């Protein structure tokens, strides 16, 4: 009989804050995930901290919901005090947080299809 194994993903750890400068209510997310619409979390979040033990960790920020629009790719640990006007004068409307190194081709495919790779949670 085959035994089922569950893997707990501790990293990356994404902490989002309701207000700028890491203030207000916060929420912590772990593992590989995509947030389709940032306004659905804490009625929108204004700052974040992204932490991983992997140098391949990738945070992708999009200017539109559902992983559309322009995007900005960040690698490694990041703390962003203010997400307003963060991407060429546009707010962050959706994002992907992963321990994997996503290539530009993979990110463009996600943007085109709206689908995350297997093994990612969709929020």
pLDDT of 6 > 50? The answer is no
Predicted local confidence at residue 5, as pLDDT: 45
Q: Write down how long the chain is.
A: 123
Element (H, E) at 78: strand 78-80
User: Residue 13: left (phi > 0), alpha (psi -120 to 50), or beta?
Assistant: beta
pLDDT tens figures, 81-90? 999 999 989 9
């Amino acid at each position: 009989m085959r035994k089922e194994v569950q893997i707990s993903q501790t990293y990356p750890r994404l902490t989002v804050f309701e207000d700028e400068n890491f203030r207000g209510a916060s929420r912590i997310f772990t593992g590989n995930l995509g947030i389709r619409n940032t306004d659905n979390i804490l009625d929108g979040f204004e700052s974040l901290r992204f932490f991983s033990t992997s140098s391949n960790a990738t945070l992708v920020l999009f200017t539109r919901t559902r992983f559309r629009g322009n995007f900005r790719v960040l690698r490694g640990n990041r703390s962003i005090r203010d997400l307003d006007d963060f991407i060429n004068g546009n707010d962050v409307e959706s994002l992907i947080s992963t321990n994997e190194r996503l290539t530009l081709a993979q990110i463009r495919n996600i943007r085109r299809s709206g689908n995350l790779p297997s093994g990612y949670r969709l929020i």
